[in-house]
Amino acid sequence: MNYSELTPMQLDAFREVSNIGAGNAATALSQLLNRKVDMTVPSVNIIPLDSVFTKLDAEEIAIGVIVRVLGDTPGNILFIFEKDVAFDIIKSLTGTEEDELSEMGVSVLAEIGNIISASYMNAISKFTNLTITPSVPAVSYDMVAAILSTGFIESGQMDDNVLDFETEFLQDKTNTISGHFYYIPMPGSLEKILKTLGVN
């Protein structure tokens, strides 16, 4: 699919799908952390790959949770935490303060990624009637650019322009970014979603 040829109606359909998925993911994250978590309105981005890295500090060390999407609409889900936010989450759930990412910290973040991605995919699965399941999460402690590159390349998106569904989760009213959430579909997945929604 040529992303530049998507119609306004098709883009609206993707936003609606993303909104349903992200709303469920935000609720799951809020319940898990026992604190209010807001989210930005999900966006469907069709942009040059280089532009993805300008949204975040590409050289900043961050912690990413990568979940492969299996089933009818394969792709990758990425949940990227700023380093301090990730350690704060680990502390709030385990009571242990970490300076470096421990094995227990990795397990905690992987489980968060598992719960959030499953909530996102289950909501989309119910809405579209497609079979979508998550893989076992992998945790990456690297530069933002490296984490994002892995997500797009593994999803087979290596053209000049790439597509992702992006949402930012925000903590309380401080607008401190809790995480950047991406669903990066593999080529062919979008057509299946559109077909089930009758806007192909």
Question: What pLDDT sits at residue 107?
Answer: 92
Contact 67, 135 (CB under 8 A): yes
pLDDT digits (tens, 9 = 90+) for 169-186: 776 655 455 678 888 888
Of 49, 87, 31, residue with least CA distance to 182: 49
The size of the chain, in residues, is: 200
CATH class for the domain made up of 3-197: alpha beta
For Cα atoms 82, 104, 40, give the angle at the middle one, nearest 5 degrees: 30
Range 78-100 average pLDDT: 85
Spell out the domain ranges in the chain: 3-197
Task: Say what the pTM is.
Answer: 0.80
Task: Return the SS3 of 170.
Answer: strand
Question: What pLDDT sits at residue 186?
Answer: 85
pLDDT digits (tens, 9 = 90+) for 7-55: 888 888 888 888 888 888 888 888 888 888 888 888 887 877 777 666 6
3-state helix, strand, coil in the chain (%, to 5): 45, 30, 25
* Mean pLDDT of the residues in the chain: 82
